[in-house]
Amino acid sequence: HDAILALERIGVQTMTIAGYGTRGGNPATMQSFIITEEIADSMSLEELVLEGKYQALSPLMKRSLIKKVAEIARTMHQNGINHRDFYICHFLLPKSWLVINRSDVVPPLYVIDLHRTQVRGKVPLRWLEKDMAGLHFSSLDAGLTVRDRLRFICVYENRPIRNVVRNPSGFWA
Protein backbone atom coordinates (compact mmCIF):
# COMPACT_ATOMS: atom_id res chain seq x y z
CA HIS A 1 0.00 0.00 0.00
CA ASP A 2 2.72 2.48 1.00
CA ALA A 3 4.84 1.67 -2.08
CA ILE A 4 1.91 2.22 -4.45
CA LEU A 5 1.15 5.56 -2.84
CA ALA A 6 4.83 6.56 -2.97
CA LEU A 7 5.06 5.74 -6.69
CA GLU A 8 1.84 7.62 -7.39
CA ARG A 9 3.25 10.68 -5.57
CA ILE A 10 6.30 10.79 -7.84
CA GLY A 11 4.40 10.11 -11.05
CA VAL A 12 5.50 6.53 -11.70
CA GLN A 13 2.67 4.44 -13.12
CA THR A 14 1.78 1.43 -11.03
CA MET A 15 -1.18 -0.57 -9.84
CA THR A 16 -4.38 1.11 -8.66
CA ILE A 17 -5.56 0.14 -5.19
CA ALA A 18 -9.09 -1.27 -5.14
CA GLY A 19 -9.03 -2.22 -1.45
CA TYR A 20 -6.77 -3.13 1.43
CA GLY A 21 -6.94 -4.07 5.05
CA THR A 22 -4.91 -5.07 8.09
CA ARG A 23 -5.51 -7.14 11.17
CA GLY A 24 -3.58 -6.97 14.41
CA GLY A 25 -1.58 -4.27 16.12
CA ASN A 26 1.74 -6.01 16.72
CA PRO A 27 4.00 -5.47 13.65
CA ALA A 28 5.50 -8.94 14.12
CA THR A 29 2.14 -10.71 13.79
CA MET A 30 0.15 -8.21 11.73
CA GLN A 31 -1.62 -9.58 8.66
CA SER A 32 -2.57 -7.49 5.66
CA PHE A 33 -3.98 -7.76 2.17
CA ILE A 34 -4.26 -5.53 -0.87
CA ILE A 35 -6.46 -5.79 -3.95
CA THR A 36 -5.51 -3.90 -7.09
CA GLU A 37 -7.30 -3.21 -10.31
CA GLU A 38 -6.27 -5.28 -13.31
CA ILE A 39 -3.82 -3.76 -15.77
CA ALA A 40 -5.70 -5.26 -18.69
CA ASP A 41 -4.31 -6.36 -22.02
CA SER A 42 -0.68 -5.87 -21.08
CA MET A 43 2.51 -7.89 -21.13
CA SER A 44 5.70 -7.73 -19.12
CA LEU A 45 8.92 -6.60 -20.74
CA GLU A 46 10.22 -10.11 -20.08
CA GLU A 47 7.37 -11.58 -22.15
CA LEU A 48 8.10 -9.02 -24.86
CA VAL A 49 11.71 -10.25 -25.01
CA LEU A 50 10.99 -13.99 -24.71
CA GLU A 51 8.29 -13.89 -27.39
CA GLY A 52 10.66 -12.13 -29.82
CA LYS A 53 8.50 -9.02 -30.00
CA TYR A 54 11.22 -6.75 -28.61
CA GLN A 55 13.62 -7.57 -31.44
CA ALA A 56 10.81 -6.90 -33.94
CA LEU A 57 10.37 -3.32 -32.69
CA SER A 58 11.82 -0.44 -34.64
CA PRO A 59 15.09 0.97 -33.25
CA LEU A 60 13.25 4.14 -32.21
CA MET A 61 10.65 2.16 -30.26
CA LYS A 62 13.40 0.17 -28.54
CA ARG A 63 15.13 3.43 -27.56
CA SER A 64 11.85 4.77 -26.26
CA LEU A 65 11.43 1.71 -23.99
CA ILE A 66 15.02 1.91 -22.75
CA LYS A 67 14.57 5.62 -22.00
CA LYS A 68 11.32 5.02 -20.13
CA VAL A 69 12.80 2.24 -17.95
CA ALA A 70 15.81 4.45 -17.14
CA GLU A 71 13.55 7.39 -16.25
CA ILE A 72 11.45 5.19 -13.95
CA ALA A 73 14.56 3.82 -12.24
CA ARG A 74 16.06 7.30 -11.80
CA THR A 75 12.80 8.76 -10.48
CA MET A 76 12.32 5.95 -7.99
CA HIS A 77 15.89 6.00 -6.73
CA GLN A 78 16.09 9.80 -6.50
CA ASN A 79 12.96 9.72 -4.36
CA GLY A 80 14.18 7.09 -1.91
CA ILE A 81 12.35 4.10 -3.41
CA ASN A 82 14.02 0.82 -4.26
CA HIS A 83 12.18 -2.21 -5.57
CA ARG A 84 14.37 -5.13 -4.43
CA ASP A 85 12.95 -7.31 -7.26
CA PHE A 86 13.77 -4.88 -10.05
CA TYR A 87 13.50 -7.17 -13.06
CA ILE A 88 11.99 -6.53 -16.48
CA CYS A 89 9.19 -8.95 -15.62
CA HIS A 90 7.91 -6.31 -13.17
CA PHE A 91 7.31 -3.71 -15.89
CA LEU A 92 3.97 -4.06 -17.66
CA LEU A 93 3.44 -2.58 -21.12
CA PRO A 94 -0.04 -2.22 -22.61
CA LYS A 95 -0.19 -4.20 -25.85
CA SER A 96 -1.87 -1.22 -27.51
CA TRP A 97 1.50 0.58 -27.51
CA LEU A 98 2.95 -2.16 -29.69
CA VAL A 99 0.10 -1.81 -32.18
CA ILE A 100 0.41 1.93 -32.69
CA ASN A 101 4.04 1.43 -33.80
CA ARG A 102 5.00 5.06 -33.21
CA SER A 103 8.21 5.95 -31.41
CA ASP A 104 6.95 9.46 -30.56
CA VAL A 105 4.37 8.00 -28.18
CA VAL A 106 5.94 7.43 -24.76
CA PRO A 107 5.45 3.81 -23.68
CA PRO A 108 3.14 3.62 -20.66
CA LEU A 109 5.05 1.28 -18.33
CA TYR A 110 3.57 0.12 -15.03
CA VAL A 111 5.80 -1.03 -12.17
CA ILE A 112 4.28 -4.00 -10.33
CA ASP A 113 5.06 -6.55 -7.61
CA LEU A 114 5.88 -4.02 -4.92
CA HIS A 115 5.65 -6.22 -1.82
CA ARG A 116 9.40 -5.95 -1.09
CA THR A 117 9.76 -2.28 -2.04
CA GLN A 118 11.46 0.01 0.45
CA VAL A 119 10.57 3.68 0.83
CA ARG A 120 12.90 6.00 2.78
CA GLY A 121 14.67 9.33 2.51
CA LYS A 122 17.59 8.03 0.45
CA VAL A 123 18.31 4.66 -1.15
CA PRO A 124 21.56 3.17 0.23
CA LEU A 125 24.20 2.27 -2.36
CA ARG A 126 23.82 -1.45 -1.66
CA TRP A 127 20.12 -1.34 -2.68
CA LEU A 128 20.83 0.82 -5.74
CA GLU A 129 23.36 -1.79 -6.83
CA LYS A 130 20.89 -4.61 -6.22
CA ASP A 131 18.13 -2.90 -8.22
CA MET A 132 20.41 -2.08 -11.13
CA ALA A 133 22.05 -5.52 -11.13
CA GLY A 134 18.62 -7.15 -11.21
CA LEU A 135 17.51 -4.96 -14.08
CA HIS A 136 20.74 -5.63 -15.98
CA PHE A 137 20.65 -9.40 -15.39
CA SER A 138 17.00 -9.72 -16.38
CA SER A 139 17.64 -7.82 -19.64
CA LEU A 140 20.52 -10.01 -20.83
CA ASP A 141 18.31 -11.93 -23.29
CA ALA A 142 16.97 -8.73 -24.86
CA GLY A 143 19.94 -8.38 -27.20
CA LEU A 144 20.82 -4.92 -25.95
CA THR A 145 23.88 -3.36 -27.54
CA VAL A 146 26.64 -1.43 -25.79
CA ARG A 147 25.00 1.73 -27.15
CA ASP A 148 21.67 0.65 -25.64
CA ARG A 149 23.32 0.22 -22.25
CA LEU A 150 25.11 3.58 -22.54
CA ARG A 151 21.82 5.20 -23.53
CA PHE A 152 20.24 3.76 -20.37
CA ILE A 153 23.09 5.09 -18.21
CA CYS A 154 22.88 8.56 -19.81
CA VAL A 155 19.15 8.80 -19.15
CA TYR A 156 19.47 7.35 -15.64
CA GLU A 157 22.24 9.80 -14.72
CA ASN A 158 20.76 12.63 -16.79
CA ARG A 159 24.19 13.29 -18.32
CA PRO A 160 25.30 13.50 -21.97
CA ILE A 161 27.04 10.44 -23.37
CA ARG A 162 30.37 12.25 -23.72
CA ASN A 163 30.40 12.90 -19.96
CA VAL A 164 29.42 9.33 -19.13
CA VAL A 165 32.17 7.90 -21.35
CA ARG A 166 34.87 10.38 -20.27
CA ASN A 167 34.05 10.36 -16.57
CA PRO A 168 32.32 7.10 -15.68
CA SER A 169 31.23 6.86 -12.08
CA GLY A 170 32.50 3.93 -10.04
CA PHE A 171 28.89 2.85 -9.68
CA TRP A 172 28.73 1.63 -13.30
CA ALA A 173 32.02 -0.23 -13.12
Rounded Cα gap, residues 74 and 72, in angstroms: 6
DSSP string, 46-57: HHHHHTTHHHHS
Catalytic residue status for 148: no
Other Cβ atoms within 10 Å of 143 Cβ, number = 11
Q: Which of 85, 104, 131, 141 is catalytic?
A: 85
Rounded Cα gap, residues 93 and 58, in angstroms: 16
CA-based angle 13:19:25, to the nearest 5? 115
Q: Hey, which residues are catalytic here? A: 85
